Structure 1
Amino acid sequence: MLMSLTTALPDPSVKLPREIKVLVAAAFLIAVGFGIVAPVLPQFAQSFNVSVSAAAIVVSAFAFTRLLFAPLSGVLVERLAERRTYIVGIVIVAASSAACAFAQNYWQLLLYRGLGGIGSTMFTVASMGLLIRLAPPQARGRVSSLYSGSFLLGGIAGPAIGGLLAGFGLQLPFLVYAGALVLVALLVATQLPALVAATPRLAVVPRPATGPDGATPRPVAADVRAAAPVRVPVPAVPVPVPAAKARPLPLRAALGLPAYRAVLVSGFANGWSAFGIRMALVPLFATAALGAGPQVAGISLAVFAVGTGVALMFSGRLADTWGRKPMILLGLAVNGIGMGVLGFTGNEFWFFVVSAIAGLGSGLMGPAQQATVADVIGNDRSGGKVLATFQMSQDFGTIIGPIAAGAVVDAFSYGPAFAMATAVALLAALFWLPARETQR
């Protein structure tokens, strides 16, 4: 009984495979490159003498094609395997970014940027699949936290570098981004072999016929029980099996699990709040409601990211020890309440404080959500369509959230628009309440 309890608990000291570190380093480079392009993309679009709305469409085109081609990326992961799909996706985004630098008019820029979204969803779904296949089951939350943290740090460093590069021309950041992505493709191709992480198994070891001193052990009343074999856990090790041979998990089977349906809704809520309303509505609120300049909006976004980063320092380990469900419910509550209160703040101080709290909630549930999807798929299966559907739920929330919130602002005010994020988070929590914990 003691042994079974010990092996059931996650081991926080479990060693992560080297391949995980390669993926984390690649994620950092990708995020830095994306951050380099982000601040100059709208300016580059407006350099073709188009309106602000047209410039915003260039930004949205990337997310739209990600959502549109997410199902195809899931199919490619199952047919080509994660590693190959990852590399091809990275190369597509690199080519798209380089082409943007040489765009001669607005429509070329829109086309090239939109094509980059196809490659983006390919490597996003593939990277999640690789993390699931390579991460030890006892450390899935910790791995998700580490991966998300690398993206966060890259996203913070990238815009600062992009602002400096923009002084040498608006085309240069796109070329630097393309070069960074080529480096990522080479890194993954050379340092990440096509291996599958084996699922931990139990080895059957017969009980010894003699005692520790070599003598025959004293007979006991339950002879059959004494002769029963002992199951000893054997650590999981990567085995050289091509990833393409892994059997896929049907999407219908995953949708039959309440936890997977719940994580789709909570992913939608996180996309609505953390990626949609935060990026689209917070800058406008800072200017219109608080009467502050764009620097205050920028600081609030950075404060939100800091809150997320602080949570990621411990939320992954807690997801491996406390469980996925408690962390997701806690994150939904903190983020939902924080975003709802944000629309009623009246000065910059409380605006920053509440932004940090909302970011903390996003960081609390992020690793637990990814770990839940990993639990559903498992190490020994390919889940391209399952992963793509989860990614689509977040992208869908990112697209729908700002549109719905903007309509509410036009009809009423900012307060009810931000309160919608609280309502969406509450809906996601209701889906999670009857769901069973997926951590074994």
Structure 2
Amino acid sequence: MLMSTPSPASEADGAAAVKLPREIKVLVAAAFLIAIGFGIVAPVLPQFAQSFHVSVGAAAVVVSVFAFTRLVFAPLSGVLVERLGERRTYILGILIVAASSAACAFAQNYWQLLLFRGLGGIGSTMFTVSAMGLLIRLAPPQARGKVSSLYAGSFLLGNITGPAAGGLLAGFGLQLPFLVYAGALVLVALLVATQLPAAVPAPAEAAEPAGVQAVAQGPGLEGAAAAGPLPASGTGPAQGAGPAQGAGPAQGAGKQAPLLLRAALGIPAYRAVLASSFANGWSAFGIRMALVPLFATAALGAGPEVAGISLAVFAIGTGIALMFSGRLADTWGRKPMILLGLLVNGLGMGVLGFTGDVFWFFAVSLVAGLGSGLMGPAQQATVADVIGNERSGGKVLATFQMCSDFGAIIGPIAAGYLVDLFSYGLAFSMATVVALVAVVFWLPAAETQR
């Protein structure tokens, strides 16, 4: 008896019909609260640093030290996830950031502020990696792109609304936003502690798409298989998996061991997603935040309000793409969406440095934001495909996050030197070059979704 192949339309209907676990909605709500708090602090932090009578460069260091400590301590967060479990590491990380934010409000000098803000980066990477691990464990395989879009969209919405609230709160004192952020994070910790079970279950639809099995059998994975077991295709007990590993080592002895980083690195799709994560960090989180405001003032002769609007336009473009990119990642596949996002974002950022008026500056910012939103859910879904629902992958997740942070740190530095030596156009064009390098990594990689 012949079996028909499902059409893309029927697959789309199936992905849309998947009921998401309640725990995912808890994580999405927590992400929104975190993003609002971060947005409240973001516009106030440089001003608070300058209140200690330091230079603009020193104030910028207070902003970048958060990303630096995230990068340095990401490997530790991966170890903690594997030893303590995602839920415990998430709550601990949230409380560390809350304590750091409250301490910043009471800083008596610049160096105390720098230290307290840097310590917050440790907690940030802990809950970021843990949240990714929880989403991978909870998301049905056929709806991973949808879940990634929901999570990213909640962060985006919080980042858009938070700065406005931060500006209002700053009128009552520069310390108040930090205390409000700390309070919001305590609420998040309570939410996760009370609404997520101690043992986070894998979804009932644990069967992975056949594409992951095909990847595991594809060329170039012999070394990965020798280094350690590849992510099982989520078949549960048939693979010898015990209970889901939500609460750490205390759970059943039959659980699968964590996916080894060297095993994941043997998978071409994982190496490719590291490259695209670095490119997205370089462009969307690095050059955009550091170079766009300077370009608006120096090259376009516009005021800071134009730079702020351009950042909002970029975020709007990302939000528009997130409305459909997750669903397409679940139906079309991860690889096409990442390739499309890299090309749109990379070319958009490259053209941005050659815009000569405000209208085109905004228009190209919107296009670049669309590119970032197109690839975001597909990237996280690819990492989820590699790890699988029944396996922990703390170090694998941490490495993925580190690549984005690394791009966000060195991208602005490299672009700044190019501006000083050459021009804004060349500095922005570097984002295009980095994106094209990531495309080269993705071309030979196999699709993980099907």
TM over 0.5: yes
The aligned amino acid for 1:389 is: T
Q: Give how far 1:368 is off.
A: 0.2
Ranges of 4+ aligned residues in structure 1 off by more than 3 Å: 1-10, 198-202, 239-242
User: Which is greater in Rg?
Assistant: 1
Alpha-carbon contact 2:245-2:391 (below 8 Å) kept = no
Alpha-carbon contact 2:139-2:203 (below 8 Å) kept = no
For residue 106 of structure 1, the aligned residue among 104, 107, 110 is 110
For residue 201 of structure 2, the aligned residue among 196, 207, 219 is 196
Could you tell me how far apart the structure 2 residues matched to 1:285 and 1:326 are?
Answer: 32
Could you tell me how far apart the structure 1 residues matched to 2:204 and 2:26 are?
Answer: 21
Q: Give how far 1:195 is off.
A: 1.5
2:157 is aligned with 1:130: no
Alpha-carbon contact 1:196-1:380 (below 8 Å) kept = no
Residue by residue, what CA displacement relative to the aligned partner does 1:364-414 show, whole Å, maximum 9, x if unpaired?
000000000000000000000000000000000000100011111011000
Partner SS for 1:168? coil
Could you tell me how far apart the structure 2 residues matched to 1:370 and 1:88 are?
Answer: 23
For residue 410 of structure 2, the aligned residue among 383, 394, 400 is 400
2:441 corresponds to which residue?
431
1:2 corresponds to which residue?
3
Residue by residue, what CA displacement relative to the aligned partner does 1:391-439 show, whole Å, maximum 9, x if unpaired?
0000000001000111110110000100000000000001000000000
For residue 362 of structure 1, the aligned residue among 359, 372, 377 is 372
Could you tell me how far apart the structure 1 residues matched to 2:38 and 2:373 are?
Answer: 20
Alpha-carbon contact 1:199-1:379 (below 8 Å) kept = no
Could you tell me how far apart the structure 1 residues matched to 2:368 and 2:118 are?
Answer: 30
1:268 corresponds to which residue?
278
Alpha-carbon contact 2:258-2:392 (below 8 Å) kept = yes
Could you tell me how far apart the structure 1 residues matched to 2:206 and 2:355 are?
Answer: 53
Alpha-carbon contact 1:272-1:421 (below 8 Å) kept = yes
Partner SS for 1:281? helix
Alpha-carbon contact 2:141-2:206 (below 8 Å) kept = no
Residue by residue, what CA displacement relative to the aligned partner does 1:190-226 show, whole Å, maximum 9, x if unpaired?
0011212146367xxxxxxxxxxxxxxxxxxxxxxxx
Alpha-carbon contact 1:199-1:380 (below 8 Å) kept = no
Alpha-carbon contact 1:45-1:109 (below 8 Å) kept = yes
2:218 corresponds to which residue?
none
Could you tell me how far apart the structure 1 residues matched to 2:348 and 2:139 are?
Answer: 32
1:181 corresponds to which residue?
185
**Residues 32-47 of structure 1 aligned to structure 2 (within 5 Å):** 32-47=36-51
The aligned amino acid for 1:14 is: V
Alpha-carbon contact 1:198-1:380 (below 8 Å) kept = no
Q: Give how far 1:13 is off.
A: 1.2
Q: Give the TM-score of the pair, scaled to structure 2.
A: 0.88
Residue by residue, what CA displacement relative to the aligned partner does 1:245-299 show, whole Å, maximum 9, x if unpaired?
4420000110000000000000000000000000000000000000000000000
Alpha-carbon contact 1:92-1:116 (below 8 Å) kept = yes
Q: Give the TM-score of the pair, scaled to structure 1.
A: 0.90
Unaligned stretches of 5+ residues in structure 2: 208-234, 237-241
1:254 corresponds to which residue?
264
**Residues 37-436 of structure 1 aligned to structure 2 (within 5 Å):** 37-193=41-197, 194-198=199-203, 200=205, 241-243=244-246, 244=248, 245=251, 246=255, 247-436=257-446
The aligned amino acid for 1:91 is: L
Alpha-carbon contact 2:97-2:121 (below 8 Å) kept = yes
Could you tell me how far apart the structure 2 residues matched to 1:337 and 1:300 are?
Answer: 17
Could you tell me how far apart the structure 1 residues matched to 2:134 and 2:300 are?
Answer: 44
Q: Give how far 1:11 is off.
A: 2.5
Provide the aligned C-alpha RMSD in A. 1.7
The aligned amino acid for 1:363 is: G
Alpha-carbon contact 1:12-1:138 (below 8 Å) kept = no
Partner SS for 1:262? helix
- In structure 2, the CA distance between the partners of 1:242 and 1:392, relative to structure 1 (3 Å rule), is closer
Partner SS for 1:382? coil
Could you tell me how far apart the structure 2 residues matched to 1:391 and 1:110 are?
Answer: 23
How many pairs are equivalent? 406
The aligned amino acid for 1:2 is: M
Q: Give how far 1:4 is off.
A: 6.5
